[in-house]
């Protein structure tokens, strides 16, 4: 079972990564230098939200352990952030990088846990209706719903493995068949 600190950190890093992706921070350093600066888009104020629907969305996020599902992306996201910071600071020691990670957790992520939860809730409110949120919260509060939540990591691990195995088995035949169709129409490709 994940601790609250781990859940907060995982959700925060995922949100940070989404923000960094949107801002271009997670692209390789040379690509950053090639991109022209874009003017900032004006931020439109969010429409007022129904407090009851917000509470339902927050409850659903907690019951469904959305932070735990976000945490599955944590290692890759963390590695990318550290890699990009290291690229900008090639002389930094591992001790410095560890201190950076700790400072990031303390100063940015831990202190802003409520903001992270609010961002997750906003996404839920943008996607689902009040009735859908009630149904989701109700279902994921049941033993069956909790069982499904606990099995999600298995699904996240096994689906890519199954797709990779299927691709390994079927791709060679599909490539040959596609090339044969092209050849029959007078186009030839080297495989």
Residues 93 and 121 in one domain: yes
pLDDT tens digits along 62-106 = 898 886 566 555 566 666 777 788 899 999 999 998 888 777 776
What residue numbers bound the domain in which 167 lies? Answer: 153-191
Domain count for the chain, please give it: 2
Both tokens assigned to 180: 């044969």
pLDDT tens digits along 41-64 = 777 777 789 999 999 999 998 898
Give the integer Cα–Cα distance in Å for 123 and 121.
5
Residues 71 and 111 in one domain: yes
In a domain? residue 37: no
pLDDT over 50 (residue 179): yes
Residues 128 and 158 in one domain: no
Among 93, 97, 68, which residue's Cα sits nearest to residue 81?
97
Q: Nearest 5°: phi and psi at 26?
A: -100, 15
Give the integer Cα–Cα distance in Å for 129 and 56.
11
Query: Domain boundary at 141, 163, 180, which?
Result: 141
Both tokens assigned to 12: 């925060």
**What is the reported pTM?**
0.55
Give the whole-number percent of the chain exceeding pLDDT 70. 66
Residues 21 and 75 in one domain: yes
Among 81, 79, 86, which residue's Cα sits nearest to residue 26?
81
In a domain? residue 128: yes
Residues 105 and 181 in one domain: no
């Amino acid at each position: 079972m994940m601790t609250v600190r781990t859940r907060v950190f995982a959700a925060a890093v995922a949100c940070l990564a989404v923000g960094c992706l949107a801002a271009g921070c997670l692209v390789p350093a040379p690509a950053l230098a090639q991109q022209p600066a874009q003017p900032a888009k004006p931020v439109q104020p969010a429409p007022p939200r129904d407090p009851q629907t917000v509470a339902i969305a927050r409850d659903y996020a907690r019951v469904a352990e959305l932070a735990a599902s976000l945490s599955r992306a944590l290692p890759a996201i963390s590695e990318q952030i550290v890699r990009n910071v290291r690229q900008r600071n090639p002389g930094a020691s591992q001790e410095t990088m560890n201190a950076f990670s700790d400072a990031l957790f303390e100063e940015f992520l831990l202190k802003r846990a409520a903001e992270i939860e609010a961002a997750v809730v906003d996404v839920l409110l943008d996607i689902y209706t009040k009735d859908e949120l009630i149904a989701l919260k109700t279902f994921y509060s049941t033993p069956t719903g909790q069982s499904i939540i606990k099995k999600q990591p298995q699904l996240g691990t096994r689906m890519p493995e199954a797709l990779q195995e299927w691709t390994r088995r079927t791709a060679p035949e599909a490539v040959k068949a596609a090339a044969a169709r092209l050849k029959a129409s007078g186009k030839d490709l080297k495989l």
